[in-house]
Amino acid sequence: MTAKIIDGRLIAETLRAEIAREATDFRNQTGIVPHLTAVLVGDDPASAVYVKNKHLACEKAGFKSTLVRLPAETTQQELLHVVERLNADPTVHGILVQLPLPKGLAAQPILDAVSPLKDVDCFHPENVGLLSQGRPRFLPCTPSGVQQILIHEQVTVPGAHVVIVGRSDIVGRPLALMLLQKGQAADATVTVCHSRTKDLAAVARTADILVAAIGQPEFITADMVKPGAVVIDVGINRVGERLVGDVAFAAVSEVASAITPVPRGVGPMTITMLLANTLKAAKLAS
């Protein structure tokens, strides 16, 4: 068996075109341009690339995009003041604080300070709570991107056993909540594995859909995958000059029925869902 390679970039382009059309209609009706402001503290090269990609995606979709750059020496209080100023600015619809923050800055109080109505990353406790109750205001970007891939690829999710390897607040936990709920690409039976899971490989082999989001390069090997399973690789890791996912792509491709590559897999979908959330935030504010 050779797996179908799922082109996340192609799916993302299709969805971004739809978002751009919706944003144009919204602008024509209201005169409002969706506006995302990113806050970048310090000079982490990877963070700078991520912010640039988000900026370009905003421009192509007809959104306004603003970058607030702050030095690495910025204090916690100074950063809180920036967030408070953006919260109070009615022309800003979405606020994104790029992580990781430099040493000495605590991320959680900053993320908690972002207005829930502008929290387009869906990190605020209020939005996480709404998600857990099945009535989300925003959907977390990467989990939502994974769900959209499953929808686009017409993967049968209701009744399927989904194993998520990784329990982070950014991917594993919110994705589990979303897949457990009723609806499209949901109604699944979900198992979340982590560093304390006993015989993780055996659990992974029971998955109809296996999601790797553990942050360890090529952690998922072919012997951990049930033949015919759909494999979604959320990880992105640099190994020497190569970018690799959390899945040993070549070997697992010989076992799975479909697989996302790294790059061109989940990554483009994350930015796409950020655009969707920003547009929704603008509509909520109108």
Q: Which of 4, 7, 44, 54 is catalytic?
A: 54
**Among this protein's residues, is 54 annotated catalytic?**
yes
Q: Which of 98, 119, 233, 246 is catalytic?
A: 98
Structure tokens at 85: 């100023």
Q: Cα–Cα distance between 217 and 222 in angstroms, integer?
A: 14
**Among this protein's residues, is 233 annotated catalytic?**
no
**Among this protein's residues, is 121 annotated catalytic?**
yes
Q: Which of 118, 119, 121, 147 is catalytic?
A: 121
**b (16+ CB within 10 A) / e for 105-138:** beeeebbbbbbbbbbbbbbbeebbebbeeeebbb
Contact 117, 281 (CB under 8 A): yes
Closest CA to 166 of 260, 233, 265, 96: 233
Q: Cα–Cα distance between 192 and 172 in angstroms, integer?
A: 7
Three-class SS state of 99: coil
Q: Cα–Cα distance between 252 and 270 in angstroms, integer?
A: 23
- Known catalytic residues are 54, 98, 121
